Structure 1
Amino acid sequence: MNQKKTIPTLIVLGSGGHTTEMFRLLSGTDMNVYKPRYYTIASTDKMSATKMNEFEQNTLKDMNVSFINRSRHVGQSYFSSIFTTLLAFFTVIPLVYRIKPKLILVNGPGTCIPIVIASLLLSIFFLIDRPKIVFVESICRVESLSLTGKILQYLPVHILVQWPQLSKLYPKTQYIGRLV
């Protein structure tokens, strides 16, 4: 019998709308291909953990979850977020090394920045194979990229946008239409 190839996938969940959009996106995928699924959630984000459990209720054997430090708290200054992002970065390096994802799927929370950078650095040093990194910009970003999108456009990341005017403003993005 021919068995389907699976893709170890790291999914970064963020609070509120980011998590809702991520699960809308995932609901249109073949979950038998994207497994095992490794979710990362900020340690203070209880709502995303609840939504993940609801979404994965029938496939718990194919998924894992890790709680990580938040890069930036709501209302935190950009200056002080440099330090919390560095802390998050150093705590996710062993996580990314252990998981060795082939695909990293992110959609906006700042928590994804340390994960993306850690995966790229680990691949530069040949400690993991370089994963495909896909960033899906939020549907609510109509006129400009989010801060996360603006940062990721300088890295080897596939940036997908849901509004055509964004792909005209930001040439490194790809317009894919409305996903969520």
Structure 2
Amino acid sequence: MLLLGFTSAVLLLCLFFIIRLYIVVKTGASYKPGSKGRVSVLVVAGSGGHTTEVLHLLQCTSAAYTPRHYVIADTDRMSEEKICTFESLKQQSDSQFTICRVPRSREVQQSWSSSVVSTLNALRYSLPLVFRLRPDMVLCNGPGTCIPLCAAGLLLGILGIKKVLIVYAESICRVQTLSLTGKILYPVSDYFFVQWASLRDKYPKSIFLGRMV
């Protein structure tokens, strides 16, 4: 009887989270960032090309998107310099940004089995970071590091603390298929951008605006 009661409680909790997740994702389309002032942005920068692409995306944003909280992997030694250079060139008097580090979810060529453990470890650091910053929007474009950060943002909405927009822009190198990160975030993202018409045709929820980087 005790086991049955525990199982029922777990099922009800799971049902609650599923319903709340559905509500959070569905209400994202009605939320317009910037309509009520500044937009706090959590930017997930992956190493190499991912960082370059996401900085190109930020070039098109207005001064309303501030402060910008960049999150990079703790083993990434190049992105911080790129971000600081980018911010210095923006030349905005009220420019505000921070750089935070979290453990990488998955290293290159890391096995899938061990990446589950490393992703959970990254989530352990991502949850308190996102709950502390409480951004209006998470902007990412593919690095595995964004999975736990987006999960933390969704949890804020599920718990009714704050609606956090999940904005995903698939890398330009993905022409025919989505990246693994894209496939995971496609159902839960509020805005999902692709840079090739072939992907737009396969994924009807996606938004195609041509080449963005």
Whether TM-score is above 0.5 comes out as yes
User: 1:108 Cα shift?
Assistant: 0.6
Q: Percent identity?
A: 47
Distance in 2 between residues matched to 1:156 and 1:26, nearest whole Å:
18
RMSD: 1.5
Supply the AA of the counterpart residue of 1:25: L
Counterpart among 179, 183, 204 of residue 150 in structure 1? 183
Q: Equivalent of 1:115, from 130, 149, 158?
A: 149
Q: CA deviation at 1:61?
A: 5.3
8 A Cα contact 2:200 2:207, kept in partner: yes
Residue of structure 2 in register with 1:92 after alignment: 126
Would you tell me which structure has more helix in proportion to its own residues?
2
Structure 2 gaps, min length 5 = 1-35
| Residue 43 (structure 2) pairs with residue 26 (structure 1) | no
How far apart are 1:158 and its partner, in Å?
1.7
Compared CA separation, residues 83 and 157, structure 1 to 2 (3 A):
farther
In the other structure, the counterpart of 2:117 is 83
2:187 and 2:100 map into 1 onto residues whose CA distance is: 27
Q: 2:174 corresponds to which residue?
A: 141
**Aligned pair count?**
175
Question: Alpha-carbon deviations, 1:46-79, whole Å to 9, x = none?
Answer: 1111100101124595001111110000110111
Kindly name which structure, 1 or 2, has the bigger radius of gyration based on alpha carbons. Answer: 2
State the 4+ residue runs in structure 1 displaced beyond 2 angstroms: 58-61
1:15 matches 2:50: no
Aligned pair partner of 2:69 in 14, 29, 38 = 38
Gaps in structure 1 of 5+ consecutive residues = none
1:171 deviates by 2.1
TM-score (norm 1): 0.92
**2:209 aligned partner:** 176
